[in-house]
Chains A and B, each alone.
Chain A
């Protein structure tokens, strides 16, 4: 499908698409090589999509199945301008799943310049605070870990080590023994659930176990697409009673 369409494109457009798809040395490839490279990437993407998506998401995608618009003409049209960054110093945390959070931040260059003038070279750290209870001040936090970041970094995916805990991210400037919190994020909660820590109890109750299985599996061996449910099913031995 894509091949026919790609064959008709100008070399300049093929190179533009190649760049967008992350093909290295797209300028050095001839027309045929570019078409093959683009096709391979499109096919790989499509396979990945099918493999990674659950049933609901795969079918949802079909609503938007018109063309693979990486090849469409509007590809070459200029995009609307949007700001590259914002002039404040702030950090936000978004929960992706019980084990991972996405943290993004803005650093106002002025804030950093002031610190640099006063302290000389400074380093930046993304600190992830973990709490057993909500709404506690950062000073009460005993569990945290640091990730060194650069001035031009702006986001990070953070592994949340424990379930049923609250997390806050901070951006901290450090220089020698000195450190200062430049911004702290909202609080997020990594969900666990009643049965997560009680798998043995669940195993012992015939009714509860049957109810659990009936809710999250079917008789063809499919399981609800939830990473925590899958972990539990694997601890329970997987198959339905």
Chain B
């Protein structure tokens, strides 16, 4: 029987945000919210599927910045405190809503969620989510891959192969340290690809990557199987293009599943709705309203007059949406299988944080989809690695420059709000390469300085900062971060040029930016890349 073959790819990433210099730091909530609403619920889902013997192998890309934060003792402690504060708020909410049974039920629902999360995180997982993820890979639930070291949008660094190399090498180093296995594939940040990038991947034994669909459809030659089979770059590395049609059902904010009126509203949160006197201990000082996670309202429609969130009703919609998605895959498979000479392969990639965090019910939906595929006679889940083992011979094609950003190229990361950063970042990269040549084989203190310079260059390259500047969300923080890394790198450069080392500054800065603890500045070496 012909079977529709699917790869589900989840990409989990957050920028490196860790501020030991403050007792609490607003942007660290990005991580705490994602652990609570996405990462732990995903882990729970994989455990349930394993318990029920449901075969599923999802490709999970974990960025090195995220992995480092998940393993960081300070952030682990702060996350526990975040959960304790959320539980304290929940207890107050249960009391406050005692006269309203519907609201009270929701307050108890969230309180239970936070209590359970704290129990699992502290007692079951012993705060070690990395170990849990490693076990999920060992038991066959997930295939772990990595992405660029700090999630740099690589097409804007193609003139600096040393920097692209440093991004990939730092990523592999982090991945192997934590997961004790070298990944076979790489998630290109923002699906940002430029012709020739595959050479860098091959050099590091990476066999495949994912692209936007137009990377293949608009290649220099005909893609004989469209986006329904991987293509082989001339150097042998494979590119898997995204299936637009199947991704769209989930991604579309306007009419995708997550926009259903029964689902929980992401924006209505008691952090914004209740009196400041009451909510003050749970928002950011001084009186900056933030999301608390206690959200009682359903999307309802384009109205401010929201209906109360109804958990049962939302669950029912999850079932319907999962069934609809499975039907869509079957229908798409049926339509496309006659167009090519082998069973079509559908790559369906998502940002992991979409599930649970923004689309609160998303993980339930994902679980139902995975169970549905396992039970289906006509659908099959297959990782890119298994697919390549089965189909080692694929059409040779050079993919085209592309991304999944607006207009399909670089315009999100290169526009009037953020273009000023590249002049500085490129100069820092040039200077880092210069330092590697001027100071070969350093050890001790000077090497620590050089290593830290390399770390700062990687951190300034993160795609999150120009993205945030462009989207205008927390752009003040993004601008500060880019400037801080440029400033810090220039301190390193100036110190080394003057042959002095400010040890106190170095120690302080190393303690703040603890990512890539074993970095070797030689990853920026020209010789190494050739």
Contact = CB atoms under 8 A, between A and B. Distances in A.
A191 B220 CA distance: 9
Interface in A74-116: 74-75, 77, 79-83, 86, 92, 94-98, 100, 102, 104, 106
Interface string A199-216: 000000001101110111
B442 interface: no
B422 interface: yes
A229 B473 contact: no
A61 B358 CA distance: 10
A133 interface: no
B400 A193 contact: yes
A52 interface: yes
A19 B425 CA distance: 27
A64 interface: yes
Nearest to A92: B426
B474 A64 contact: yes
B480 interface: yes
Contacts of B405: 54, 56-57, 225
A5 B289 contact: yes
A229 B214 contact: yes
A215 B344 CA distance: 12
Given A66-B29, A106-B423, A226-B218, A97 B409 contact: yes
A215 B486 CA distance: 41
Contacts of B488: 80
Nearest to A64: B473
B290 to A, nearest CB: 6
A12 interface: no
A136 B414 CA distance: 27
Nearest to A65: B473
Contacts of A58: 253
Contacts of A212: 217, 226
B506 interface: no
A215 B226 contact: yes
A68 B220 contact: no
A104 B408 contact: no
A55 B253 contact: yes
Interface residues of B, number: 94
B319 interface: no
A52 B241 CA distance: 24
Given A63-B14, A86-B427, A80 B471 contact: no
A177 interface: no
B475 A70 contact: yes
A49 interface: yes
B411 A97 contact: yes
Interface residues of A, number: 77
A217 interface: yes
A125 interface: no
B226 A227 contact: no
B486 to A, nearest CB: 5
B376 interface: no
B428 to A, nearest CB: 10
B213 A75 contact: no
A67 B474 contact: yes
A4 B225 CA distance: 55
A190 to B, nearest CB: 9
A155 interface: yes
Interface string A149-177: 00000110000000000000000000000
B468 interface: yes
B484 A64 contact: no
B218 A94 contact: no
B336 A227 contact: no
A224 B244 contact: yes
B167 to A, nearest CB: 17
27 contacts: A5-B287, A46-B472, A54-B407, A55-B253, A55-B256, A56-B251, A57-B471, A66-B26, A66-B27, A67-B288, A73-B286, A80-B480, A92-B423, A97-B410, A104-B419, A186-B159, A189-B195, A191-B400, A193-B214, A195-B217, A196-B218, A211-B339, A214-B228, A222-B248, A226-B218, A228-B218, A229-B214
User: What 3 pairs across the A-B complex have the smallest Cβ distances?
Assistant: A226-B408, A193-B218, A97-B409
